[in-house]
Structure 1
Amino acid sequence: MVWQKYPIESDTVRKISEEFGIDLLLASILVRRNLHRREDIKFILEDDLLFTHNAFLFVEMEDAVDRIHQALEEGEKILIFGDRDVDGITSTVLLTQTIRDLGGDVRWQVPMGDDPYGLNMESVERFAADDGSLIITVDCGISNKQEIERALELGIETLVVDHHNPPEELPPAVAIINPKVEDCGYPFRDLAGCGVASKLVWALLFSRSPFYNQSVCLLNVRPGNDSYFIEAVKLVNLVETDRVVETLNPGMVGLADTRLYRFLEGEEILVYDAGPQEKMLRKIFGPDTLIALIDLKPEIEQVFPALRGRGSSLLALREKSRIGKYENSRLEEIDVLANLFRSFVHRKVPALNEDFPRCLDLVALGTLADLMPLVDENRILVRQGLKVLNSTGRKGLRELLFQKNLLGKRIGTTDIAWQLSPSINATGRLGRPDTAVNLLLSDDDAQLKELAEEVDALNRERKKLGETVWSRILPKTRKNLDEMSGNMVFISDSSIHRGITGIIASRLSNTMKVPAVVVAHFDGKAVGSVRCDPPFNVRSFLSNFEDLFFDYGGHDCAGGFSMPEEHFENFTHRVRTFAKGIEPVETVEERLSIDAELPPAYMKPELITVQESFEPYGEANPPLVFLARGMKILQADLMGKKEVVHLKLLLEGGVHKWPAVYWNAAPRLGRDFQIGDTVDVAFRLGRNYFNNTETLQLTVLDLHRPEDVHLVEERPAE
């Protein structure tokens, strides 16, 4: 294994350290991870929801909110239709709970048994027969054009809340909230389905405030040398919709002759510290000029007491602005006022400040389970969600945590990935996602225990099925790989349960290092899953066969499809032909990226704060890897349950002794290193919980005697 440590510019590190008030180690890791843009740094250092994107940046969000309010006011029946995986289940729960809390007549549905993915005709027809009039799809719907057309024929309108790649022709929904739709207005495309659903939840909560759909006009006047600068912005739903800037000399022009007059006409005008603002306006336009100003300063100081009595001007606040330091250009005072007003509203509206954060435990679950990249606002949503999850009042989650022996433990991304997500996912894979939805929605203590036990039982069954299938198909994969020109694995087996095709495909792709297709057969249909790593694109791959499918969809690296059984032989032939044309990815020696080399003085317990600064870890944000040279192996013990293949080590580094684990390294002891050796160690740092005691522990990724280390210090060729 080659250790790769990218070179970085020390001047860039020092500049970031000074500008953002962080230590040099943290700054160096940001640079080495290519996170030195202000926008990137913001999402590492901040976790306030104020730094997430406004839901009303979706150009059709207002349409969606208004349609739901219409349904609430008229007592319409609303159907939330979701998906069977963790993302779909959490999305379904989020919107069902929110609309129920708003007094809506709401019911929910997820695909059961062998139902296909997405909205289906039968559900549309049944809902119409029940006098339903509004369907909201979550984590699905973008590919359901025919079903949504049929709903429209039956007098049912649809809102699509999804995050999957859109087809060329969109369904005729009242509104489509999907960050991957072109010209949707939203600046971040990689929200999970539950993340998109949470944006609709936020917008609905905001719409209950007096600020919804109200034009807010903010004004600021500041002096120049012989002139004055007047700046004004309009906000609707906290999104800037218009702006005017004028430079005026006193007495040279009347207010009615300026662009400002038309901008302000009919508006309530909000300023910060009205006294000085009025004086300057009279100086510009004459002493008899009357412009009614509303002073925000008293209310803002009431919400933010730290500002009270300091005589803080917008100019002074600009220098202290947390938001401003992440902007690429220096904020004007009007921008400081706009940001201050947004912060004020976020704190003033209890639903945004108290109710909305409570839904983020589900957003964290769904985002992590769907392997969304932990970049941009996903970091803040998941980080806040983990805080909520660790003190959750959601009874169903508490019961599931109890079943998993996690209640009272500090829950992290690893616990979700290895314990919570698989359990919830198993309900959908085995055709019983309603069990998980009911668990997360229920408040019935007697029912909760039964539901949690059922979820756990389904997960055990899923594991057993997976292992049985894996042991049966693994011997076939080498021959199959050869049949697919060495570029793909394609497994078809009538004994594979449709609910585990994705798990098997993912495991095959990881094992064989090629795209994997796994197909199950039942009821005259062939249903399959595809998994891969970039640069292979699943949706693009599946589009080559859309003429054979009932339906298909997915993300760039994962997808699924279903087709009539009679098309399967043709599909197999065409996939085999396609595989011949795949350009094989050049294999290179495995590399381990080092985030920081630590001098002995840095090997101290406080290092955990740097490690945790980059949490949450997951897709597109792997855990930090440190390199420490000259550590001494004080102790090495063999460990393992079924086989003794792991090592438990005690290492000395700096002035501290460090417990460590080194997985699958038992054969190396006595061959590559031994007790008493001084070695260079690449490791991750984490917390270990045992017998209600927390200790720091290294997870060794690789170690060598100094003369055996292969360290590369240049970036690979582009």
Structure 2
Amino acid sequence: MNYRSSRRLYNRKGQNKLKEWRSQDLSYDEHPYNFYIAYFSKCFHLDQALTRYLFSLGYTKRKEIVEFLYPSLDQLHDPFLLKDMHKAITRIEQALDRKEKVMIFGDYDGDGQTATSLLYRALKKLEANVEFLIPLRSEGYGLKPTALDNCSMKDVSLIITVDNGTSAHAALKKAHKMGIDVIVTDHHEILQGHPNCYAFVNPKRDDNDYPFKFLAGVGVALKLVQALFKTFYGTDWEQYIWDYLDLAAIGTVTDMMPLKGENRAIVALGIRMMNEQPKPIIKKLVKKLPYKDVDTTTIGFGIGPVLNACGRISDPNISTRFLCEGDLSREDLENLITVNNTRKVMTAEHFVKAEHLIEEQGLTNDNVIVIQGDFHEGIIGLLASRISEKYLKPAIVINESGKGSARSVQNTNFSIVKVILDCSSYLISFGGHQAAAGLSITLSKVDGFRKAIQLAAQMQDQVIPEVQYQFEIPLMFFPDEMIHQFDRLEPYGMGNNKPIFYTKTWFDSCFPLGPSREHFVLKAFGKTVWAFRFNEQIIKPQKLRKILYTVNSSKKRDFLLLDIKT
């Protein structure tokens, strides 16, 4: 493939750092597999441009394309390939036989909530004596020694963690002394050795034979349930697992896991369930959102934020209970929506405060932007994301309690957890992965940490985000048939973005949406183009612009503006 690159000023609202556009030349005549592209396009009734796009993602064989276009339960791998899965199932069987008290210990984000409720529903189906507990964000991430006292008071003899536990070494040591068995199911990076527990189920274990490492926490919980159902129901496990795929899909998308391989099957099948046989809670929640059908956009921008808001500024045990029950009252639904709206206002206000700190302290030229201030712990991750998006720099936001949240820059290989690991001598604790991490620090050490992390960042490649576009197609001539075929490539998300198109065009009209004047609906050649968080000056009508865009909705036949330059 040939590449042409151009660097330009980033024109989203408030952004001003250079960024790269790259043209990924997928032209048919020069493609080395043009014969196969033509053949598969006919076989699968796809526009050749979309087939070329699948080839660019690595789907070049008939079997791979079939699995991509037609996800099925056959694509779920054998759960017993995960190390310690047999031990975990044997211990759970024992707990069921003895009517032992089982505690599911989850995490407060959307992945942790869905993982907790998925496993809870499955164990209840098997008539387990089970409860769940999710810590408040103020209590900190993961299983803590203090949480074990609560479990001991309730005569818990088996704890199963979901979406946490890999780094809970102190708590696991205490559990062992207390005679409580712990099964850790998690998907986070293993940074400080294997935990000392009864069973450790994590696809990132180096000694696994499992073929897929990118499961969400809820994905690992689903594998545990799959193994349980295979054990209890034999070959009939498939008819029972369908009832849990909706939660698995929500958690996987919310945690921004790559939608490839097994994740793609989980999300595609879960979305099918939510559209065809939705649980009452999903049906009621979607009605409150500006979406008619469930897809990854509905989850990522609708359902997920509502769950995450409870974990950020409220009590995640409340929303998790609703997920466990599969339903909620109208009043409870309104309360969830209110919490999310409060979170939106709070985030906007605190982001303004963060911008002032960055400018006042002259941090814009730092390799990694590290700020510390009076920020609500529940939204420091959101603030770090918005800072990295605006300044195109990795960002770490630390509050007055010394809790910090870190984000890398999207579309780069910069590992935020690697630079934090290199500076771990300044920290009390930390954990995470390439794109996101969390930490705790004594405030007196923040300045030293900030200086050290600038040096650590120099050891990695320069952060120059890029956007690759696949085709050059004039907006006015965009094929209607291709728009209709975009649904065939769903679900879109991390690792399976929508194809991006480049063109030069002008807009006939531009109408602002809302009081902030950063969202717009544009018209060009009779087509509707939506633009979110853009600078009003750069999208003025009647001026020729270079743009990157994609299809927004195949049903509405409208488009989404991704980027623009003069």
Q: TM-score range by the shorter chain?
A: 0.7 to 0.9
What secondary structure does 1:163 align onto?
coil
Pick one of 285, 288, 296 that aligns with 1:400.
Answer: 285
RMSD of aligned Cα (Å): 3.0
What secondary structure does 1:209 align onto?
helix
- Determine the C-alpha separation between the residues in 1 that align with 2:378 and 2:231: 39
Task: From the superposition, tell whether residues 542 and 637 of structure 1 become closer, same or farther in structure 2 (CA, over 3 Å).
Answer: closer
More displaced 10-residue stretch of structure 1: 434-443 or 60-69:
434-443
* Post-superposition offset of 1:203: 1.0
1:243 is matched with none
1:506 is matched with 385
1:6 is matched with 25
What secondary structure does 1:486 align onto?
coil
2:178 is matched with 154
- Residues 130-145 of structure 1 correspond to what in structure 2 (within 5 A)? 130-145=154-169
Contact 1:81 1:92 in 2 (8 A): yes
Q: Which amino acid aligns with 1:660?
A: V
Task: From the superposition, tell whether residues 702 and 462 of structure 1 become closer, same or farther in structure 2 (CA, over 3 Å).
Answer: closer
Contact 1:99 1:106 in 2 (8 A): yes
Q: Does 1:531 align with 2:407?
A: yes
- Residues 561-640 of structure 1 correspond to what in structure 2 (within 5 A)? 561-563=439-441, 567-583=442-458, 586=462, 592-597=467-472, 603-627=478-502, 635-640=508-513
- Determine the C-alpha separation between the residues in 1 that align with 2:347 and 2:561: 29
* Post-superposition offset of 1:466: 1.3
Q: TM-score, normalised by structure 1?
A: 0.69
Pick one of 358, 367, 383 that aligns with 1:477.
Answer: 358
- Determine the C-alpha separation between the residues in 1 that align with 2:518 and 2:174: 60
1:497 is matched with 376
1:260 is matched with none
What secondary structure does 2:379 align onto?
helix
1:29-88 deviation digits (Å, cap 9, x = unpaired): 123344436775455223112023221211321211111111101100000000000000
2:400 is matched with 521
1:422 is matched with 305
- Determine the C-alpha separation between the residues in 2 that align with 1:611 and 1:133: 50
- Residues 331-346 of structure 1 correspond to what in structure 2 (within 5 A)? 345=235
In structure 1, stretches of 5+ residues that fail to align are 211-344, 652-656, 674-678, 689-693, 709-718
What secondary structure does 2:329 align onto?
helix
- Determine the C-alpha separation between the residues in 2 that align with 1:183 and 1:12: 37
- Determine the C-alpha separation between the residues in 1 that align with 2:40 and 2:297: 33
2:520 is matched with 646
1:104 is matched with 128
What secondary structure does 1:686 align onto?
strand
User: Highest relative contact order (Cα 8 Å, sep 6+), 1 or 2?
Assistant: 2
Contact 1:442 1:448 in 2 (8 A): no
Contact 1:29 1:596 in 2 (8 A): no
Pick one of 268, 274, 283 that aligns with 1:383.
Answer: 268
Task: From the superposition, tell whether residues 176 and 14 of structure 1 become closer, same or farther in structure 2 (CA, over 3 Å).
Answer: same
1:471-512 deviation digits (Å, cap 9, x = unpaired): 122122134454x8621111111x211111111111111111
- Residues 683-698 of structure 1 correspond to what in structure 2 (within 5 A)? 683-687=549-553, 694-698=555-559
1:699 is matched with 560
Contact 1:365 1:421 in 2 (8 A): yes
* Post-superposition offset of 1:570: 2.4
- Determine the C-alpha separation between the residues in 1 that align with 2:531 and 2:365: 37
Q: Which amino acid aligns with 2:341?
A: R
- Determine the C-alpha separation between the residues in 1 that align with 2:211 and 2:368: 35
* Post-superposition offset of 1:415: 2.0
- Determine the C-alpha separation between the residues in 2 that align with 1:195 and 1:54: 13
Identical pairs, percent: 27
Contact 1:490 1:518 in 2 (8 A): yes
Task: From the superposition, tell whether residues 405 and 449 of structure 1 become closer, same or farther in structure 2 (CA, over 3 Å).
Answer: farther
* Post-superposition offset of 1:110: 0.3
Q: Does 1:18 align with 2:35?
A: no
* Post-superposition offset of 1:126: 2.3
More displaced 10-residue stretch of structure 1: 383-392 or 419-428:
383-392
Structure with greater Cα Rg: 1
Task: From the superposition, tell whether residues 14 and 597 of structure 1 become closer, same or farther in structure 2 (CA, over 3 Å).
Answer: farther
Count of matched residue positions in the alignment of Structure 1 and Structure 2: 536
Q: Which amino acid aligns with 2:338?
A: A
- Determine the C-alpha separation between the residues in 2 that align with 1:702 and 1:539: 29
Contact 1:139 1:161 in 2 (8 A): yes
Q: TM-score, normalised by structure 2?
A: 0.86
Task: From the superposition, tell whether residues 507 and 63 of structure 1 become closer, same or farther in structure 2 (CA, over 3 Å).
Answer: same
Q: Which amino acid aligns with 2:259?
A: L
What secondary structure does 1:424 align onto?
helix
- Determine the C-alpha separation between the residues in 1 that align with 2:192 and 2:500: 42
1:672 is matched with 543
- Residues 247-396 of structure 1 correspond to what in structure 2 (within 5 A)? 345=235, 349=236, 351-352=237-238, 354-396=239-281
1:380-423 deviation digits (Å, cap 9, x = unpaired): 111111111223442323332233354xx112212222221111
